[in-house]
Structure 1
Amino acid sequence: MTDGSGAVGLTWIGQAGYAIEAPGGALCLLDPYLSEFALEELGLPRVAPIPLDPAATRADVVAITHTHHDHLDLTTCRALAGANPAVTFVGPSSIVARLLGRGIAPERIVTVERGESVTVGAFTFHGHYARHEVAGWLTEDALAYVVEVAGTRILHSGDTEYDQRCLAVAERGPFDVGIFVANGSGGNMHALEAALMATQLAPAVAIPCHYGMWAPEAYGSGHAPDGKPTLDPQLFAEACAKLDGPAVRVLELGERIDVLPAGVTIAA
């Protein structure tokens, strides 16, 4: 629900997924993983509860960064399409055939590639480079996004390793919020790399993501150079502080913050 302040609502819905609500109430779901799709396809049961029922959730646009199961959740997408006859799906061209295969009409899918921008209703999506190279699961068109809505800019790193090419997204700044993957395995940055990227891109507030969905061993053996496991978001927060980087918010599942062009405040 909008709070009447003109703020953009940002809610963590698990893993790398967020609900972005415009002041007028329009809703974007970014990488919503709201099912057991990874269990059905890969044998990975979620331990995090499902915060939204996709069959009963109103959504105007669903934005996808890449085709991995916890980002392009086809069970969730089909349920959202059924509950929202006008919902639009946005993402790289690799999502198209997969959505068509689940019965989603082509006119409801809008592609965006690296270096491209599309506007759907209240939301403008700028596609940028992400390097997500996983053996056997290559996602050559994986995206980072800058989402512009109501005068705010929200950066989502997408699933990515640390790469200087990712820093070119700075041209879209300054950012009111930056969301950074920090789990340290499966082709993703560890917490120290994510903190370095956050410091270099300098959002007003940085948020770590991509942890807590599965049991820790299901994420692989990713560790920071000091040997600490990187699934602890506090490691990201500590590293940002040591680097004199941005302020950090570690969100609880289902927690919402309100984003204003001048920064972030906690919802009342």
Structure 2
Amino acid sequence: MASIPAYRSGASLLNQMAATAVPVGAVAVWHLGQESVVLKGGGMTIYIDPYLSDSVNEVTNGQSPRKFASPLQPHEVTNADAVFITHDHLDHLDPWTLKDLAAASPQAAFVCPVHCIPMLTDIGIARERIHGVNAGQTHRVGALQFTPVAAKHEEFTVDADGNHAFLGYVFRLNGVTVYHAGDTIGFRELAEELEKQDIDIAMLPINGRDFARFAKGLVGNMDFREAVELGRHIGADLLVPLHYDLFEKNTENPAYFVDYIQRYYPQQKFKMLVPGERMLYLSERDE
């Protein structure tokens, strides 16, 4: 494992989360690497796709593929009110992370695609803590309102009951609307759905896809160009790239993302978060 330190980690990071006061109309954001994000606002702290372990190493019994250690260990996460899973790939639904996180945060609810419910119960998370959801349904957990959005991880995967295996989420929290795309390519129906949502922050994967990676079983996402164009189409105020930093064989140079914005949309706001960094975002939509 590369010894790249997180900006903030462990007790220091958790103390910062606890001490961060979030005014109405704002949300605090922490990036934990890959697509792992923490949002805080309205008295709630939510984790999205927490991948905090070295589970790939556990599975392969080989050297860790991570480029940096997780800013938090699963057993340290005592502050989760809700945990959202976008799909069942290991770097998004990680049993090693979720099992210890669930024990450390007994108050946390878990939200996931319907077909992921057995995966969570199999690791000992009580069924009453798990909320299986599908695209298009709007729900509320405490102060948080959220709507799952269908994603194409290159293609749609839908079961016989019409439940999507890959989801993104539109979160409405404390007066701010955040879209976390999960893993997806850009496509017309997604753009049409999101442009109705008045997105403040769009968190989008940029690692792309290609034949060579697909042949090795690495299903792809939108690239930096698609991510910027989707964010622009839906009118997002702030673009945040994800899914480019953790695994050496499935990364992207985020400078391409920055260069594309500077070339074509120089007034578009964006933020590249390093692992363990905090951002406080105040919505400007009603000002």
Give the TM-score normalised by the residue count of structure 2.
Answer: 0.80
How many angstroms does 1:91 deviate by?
1.4
- 1:208 to 2:230 alignment: no
- Are the aligned partners of 2:195 and 2:233 in contact in 1 as well (CA < 8 Å)? no
Q: State the partner residue of 1:40.
A: 58
Alignment of 1:240 onto 2:273: no
Per-residue deviation, 1:171:
4.6
- The within-5 A match list for 1:114-263 is 114-133=135-154, 140-185=164-209, 186-215=219-248, 218-219=249-250, 231-244=252-265, 246-262=268-284
Partner of 1:71: 92
Aligned residue pair count: 249
Structure 1 pair 151/55, CA: closer, same or farther in 2 (3 Å)? Answer: same
1:54 to 74, 89, 99: 74
How do 1:17-28 and structure 2 match up within 5 A? 17-24=36-43, 26-28=44-46
Alpha-carbon shift at residue 2 of structure 1 (Å): 2.1
Residue 227 of structure 1: aligned partner: none
Please, which moves more after superposition, 232-241 or 154-163?
232-241
Does residue 96 (structure 1) correspond to residue 120 (structure 2)? The answer is no
Is the 1:198–1:240 Cα contact (8 Å) retained in structure 2? no
Q: Say which is worse superposed, 2-11 or 182-191, in terms of deviation.
A: 2-11
TM superposition shift of 1:159? 0.5
Q: Secondary structure at the match of 1:39?
A: helix
Structure 2 equivalent of residue 9 of structure 1 = 28
232-241 or 58-67, larger mean C-alpha shift: 232-241
CA–CA distance in structure 2, aligned partners of residues 116 and 200 of structure 1: 23
What one-letter code is carried by the residue in structure 2 that aligns with 1:13? L
User: TM-score, structure 1 length as denominator?
Assistant: 0.86
Q: Which amino acid aligns with 1:100?
A: T
- Compute the displacement of 1:172 (Å): 4.4
1:115–1:140: structure 2 CA closer, same or farther, 3 Å change rule? closer
Q: Indicate conservation of the 8 Å contact 1:199/1:240, yes or no.
A: no
8 Å Cα contact 1:154/1:178 also seen in 2: yes
Letter in 1 for 2:50: P
Instruction: In structure 2, list runs of 5 or more residues that go unmatched.
Output: 1-18, 210-218
Cα deviation for residue 85 of structure 1 reads 1.4
Aligned-residue offset at 1:243:
3.1
Quickly say closer, same or farther: Cα 1:41–1:142, change in 2 above 3 A. Answer: same
Q: Which has the higher contact order (CA 8 A, sep 6+)?
A: 2
* Cα deviation digits, residues 149-198 of structure 1 (max 9, x gap): 00100011220112112113325421111111000133201111111111
Alpha-carbon RMSD across the aligned residues, in angstroms, is 2.3
Alpha-carbon separation, structure 1, partners of 2:196 and 2:138: 11
Equivalents in 1 of 2:65, 2:133: separation in Å?
31
Instruction: Report the counterpart of residue 87 of structure 1 in structure 2.
Output: 108
Please say if residues 22 and 149 of structure 1, whose CA atoms lie closer than 8 Å, have aligned partners that are also in contact: yes
> Hey, what's the Cα distance between the residues in 2 that align with 1:242 and 1:129?
30
Measured against aligned partners, the alpha-carbon deviations of 1:117-171 in whole angstroms (never above 9, x if no partner) come to 221112222111210137x9x9952011111100100011220112112113325
1:15–1:211 CA contact under 8 A, matched in 2: yes
Q: Which contiguous aligned blocks of 4+ residues in structure 1 show a shift greater than 6 angstroms? A: none
Letter in 2 for 1:21: K
2:110 aligned partner, one-letter code: F
Are the equivalent residues in 2 in contact too, given 1:195–1:237 (CA < 8 A)? no
Provide the C-alpha distance between the structure 1 equivalents of 2:148 and 2:236, rounded to a whole number of angstroms. 18
Retained in 1: the 8 A contact 2:150–2:164?
Answer: no
Identity rate, percent = 33
**Deviations, residues 77-112 of structure 1 (Å, cap 9, x unaligned):** 111110111210001112101001101111000122
| Structure 1 CA distance for aligned equivalents of residues 196 and 275 of structure 2 | 28
Residues 116-125 or 145-154, more deviating: 116-125
Q: Is the 8 A contact 2:109 2:131 kept in 1?
A: yes
